[in-house]
Amino acid sequence: MGSLNLKRKEKKMPPVKKVKTTPKTIKVYNTEIIIGGIYELEARPSKDVPQPIKGTGTIKSTRPGVKHYDSVIFDENLRRWDTGFEVTSPCNKSIPAEAKEALVDVYVDHIQKPFEEYYNTSTAATNDDFWGGSDALEMKPYQIELYIGKSYNTNHPKDLFDLFCALKQGKICEAGERDASLQRTALYQVKNAEKTVSKKEEKLLNKAKAFETLITLLNVFDPENDDTLYTLLEWINFSTIRGAEKEAVKKVVLNAFENEKTGEDTINRFLAAYEDIKDPNIKQEMELFSIVSKLNIKGKLEYKRGQYFIEGTLLGNNLREVAKIALANPDKKQIILDEWDKIQK
């Protein structure tokens, strides 16, 4: 009896569907949109913007309720609306070629399609009715609405779509935008409202930390045996602080922390220097900087052609560099210390 040759029929598995996960951020020009974040428009400072509103210092009026409307550009050559949802959209030309297709796919999947599904409409670059309006269909053209205080909740399809269009059309940009073309076209600047709150909190925490650190250092202040505080403060340009009494040091530094214009920068540099001085090598560099600063004040350094010298020996181009070079060059370090000893006697 022959053996049975039974073949098992393999069940065909359905193709696995690729699940597209929502990205945490979406980059539009130089702005990283944080998905789930809240964004707000504010007046843009006029320093990089021509012809600001007279008397306001900003390019648009800051009066509450004043709105500005703009449209997505229609490209006459391509006969398409410059939506940013196509690889060939002119507004995408600045995206590197190797990254363009993938980034535009993100725009389409996570901005365009959710908007279209939510409103049951087409935003194709050839849809004149949506972008340009239609009298026959009684459709108004899509418009970019801008005004001071306008907010965008990026969890909502329309808000994310509107924010994208405003950014892509160059009508808004983040504060500090360096791109020259965006500087010329942006009417308002956009900020992440949650980030702003976080920055304020960080600023307050840094200030409190700086106050606490200063008080701790003052409590053990003993300049005859340990001049660490003087060295730290000289490093961050308190050039005349050495020799001051404890209360005078406290008053000068706290006033610097409270300065409306420069206080935050002083606090950040103070905290950074406090961490740096814990490193023995950096502390040596700080101490050398303190010495060369004093030598310079007392006229013991010669400055010519943008460089510092002692008795013909080139030390460096600036005092920070002099200290750094001396730390690595024993001969130059000794020349500096010898000169310091002379004026100490």
Taking a C-beta distance cutoff of 8 angstroms, is the pair 147, 66 a contact? yes
Q: What digits encode the pLDDT tens for the residues 36-77? A: 999 999 887 755 444 544 555 555 554 556 788 999 999 999
Region 158-168 average pLDDT: 96
pLDDT score recorded for residue 141: 93
The answer to whether residues 211 and 158 belong to one domain is: no
Number of domains in the chain: 2
Region of residue 57 (phi > 0: left; psi between -120 and 50: alpha; otherwise: beta) = left
Q: How far is CA 229 from CA 27, 225, 286, 294, in A?
A: 44, 11, 11, 16
CA 106, chain centre distance (Å): 23
User: Rounded to 10 degrees, what is the CA torsion of 263, 34, 85, 21?
Assistant: 160
The answer to whether residues 47 and 144 belong to one domain is: yes
Q: How far is CA 253 from CA 20, 221, 228, 231, in A?
A: 54, 14, 15, 14
The answer to whether residues 58 and 71 belong to one domain is: yes
Region 171-182 average pLDDT: 82
Which of 142, 174, 194 is the C-terminal boundary of a domain? 194
Taking a C-beta distance cutoff of 8 angstroms, is the pair 114, 105 a contact? no
Taking a C-beta distance cutoff of 8 angstroms, is the pair 58, 146 a contact? no
User: Rounded to 10 degrees, what is the CA torsion of 165, 171, 173, 178?
Assistant: 120
pLDDT score recorded for residue 12: 57
Which of 194, 211, 240 is the C-terminal boundary of a domain? 194
pLDDT reading at 318 higher than 60:
yes
Region 183-207 average pLDDT: 83
% of the chain with per-residue pLDDT over 90: 41
Asked, for residue 17, whether it belongs to a domain, the answer is no
Asked, for residue 162, whether it belongs to a domain, the answer is yes
pLDDT score recorded for residue 216: 92
pLDDT reading at 126 higher than 90:
yes
Residue 185: both structure tokens together = 């076209």
Residue 19: both structure tokens together = 């699940």
The answer to whether residues 185 and 217 belong to one domain is: no
Orientation angle between helical segments 263-276 and 193-219, nearest 10 degrees: 60
Asked, for residue 159, whether it belongs to a domain, the answer is yes
The answer to whether residues 300 and 282 belong to one domain is: yes
Tell me the residue type at 293.
Answer: S
Region 169-195 average pLDDT: 84
By CB atoms closer than 10 A (0-12, 13-18, 19+), residue 33 is: buried
The answer to whether residues 187 and 41 belong to one domain is: yes
The answer to whether residues 133 and 63 belong to one domain is: yes
* Coil, helix or strand at residue 226: strand
pLDDT score recorded for residue 59: 53
pLDDT reading at 239 higher than 60:
yes
Asked, for residue 18, whether it belongs to a domain, the answer is no
- Report the chain's mean pLDDT, rounded to a whole number: 85
Of 168, 155, 194, 178, nearest in space to 40 by CA: 194
Asked, for residue 5, whether it belongs to a domain, the answer is no
Taking a C-beta distance cutoff of 8 angstroms, is the pair 107, 82 a contact? no
Name the pLDDT band for 193 (thresholds 50, 70, 90): confident
Region 288-309 average pLDDT: 87
In DSSP notation, 103-137 reads HHHHHIIIIIHHHHHHHT----TT-HHHHH-BTTT
pLDDT reading at 3 higher than 80:
no
| 173: containing domain | 25-194
pTM: 0.55
Which of 173, 194, 215 is the C-terminal boundary of a domain? 194
The answer to whether residues 225 and 171 belong to one domain is: no
Asked, for residue 2, whether it belongs to a domain, the answer is no
Q: φ, ψ for residue 174 (rounded to 5)? A: -80, 160
